[in-house]
Amino acid sequence: MRRSLALLLLIVVMPAVAQIYKYTDADGNTAYSNQPPNGTRSETVELPPLNSVPTVAPAPATTSAPQNQSQAPENTAAYSVLELTDLPDGEALRANNGTFTVGVAIQPRLQSGHLLQLVIDGRPYGQPTNIPRLQVMELDRGEHSLAVQVLQGDELIQQSQTITLTVQRVHVGRP
């Protein structure tokens, strides 16, 4: 039984200690092989040890004190500029079908993992996105409030100032 186990281990280990041979072929080209060539002078190639990187277990998550939690939003809300753009200033927005595009000015650039959410009349509008151009579709005529939020998952990071504007649409005889 022990001999069988020793033989099995020897067979498994043999490919790991295989030798590499370097020689020059008949055309003068340098060639490499795992078997020495017949009738040709060859030399063994000593390979350096393989690179390895030790695995490091991640540090366990620690629960932070309430003081650290109150500091986290200040550190993550690092947008010095967050505002809606491409909206009329002091006049009504003419959108005959209620569809228009709103731009977002944000400085510095949107961080990885953060998304922009348009808020119309206090409610989220559309899907959160990382693109600073937000499309509004078929908004009813009248006065509306708009803002943009920066979200990380479900957490609110920062919100822009709310802008109030009036949307004008063509009346087509429908109430």
Domains and CATH numbers, the chain: 2-45 (no CATH), 76-168 (2.60.40.10)
Note the maximum CA span of the chain: 99
Q: Which amino acid is at 130?
A: N
14: confidence class by pLDDT, cuts 50, 70, 90? low
DSSP 104-115: EEEESPPPTT-E
More confidently predicted of 156 and 17: 156
Q: What is the pLDDT of residue 88?
A: 86
The rounded mean pLDDT for the chain is: 81
More confidently predicted of 171 and 15: 171
- What pTM was computed for the model? 0.54
User: Which pair of tokens denotes residue 171?
Assistant: 């009346």
E strand residue ranges, 40-132: 42-45, 81-85, 93-94, 100-107, 115-120, 123-129
Give yes or no for residue 121 having a pLDDT over 80.
yes
Q: How far apart are CA 54 and CA 60, in angstroms?
A: 18
User: Which pair of tokens denotes residue 2?
Assistant: 């022990």
Lowest mean pLDDT among 27-31, 36-40, 72-76, 163-167: 72-76
Q: How far apart are CA 139 and CA 94, in angstroms?
A: 11
Q: Please give the DSSP secondary-structure letter assigned to residue 11.
A: H
**Range with the largest mean pLDDT of 85-99, 131-145, 160-174:** 131-145
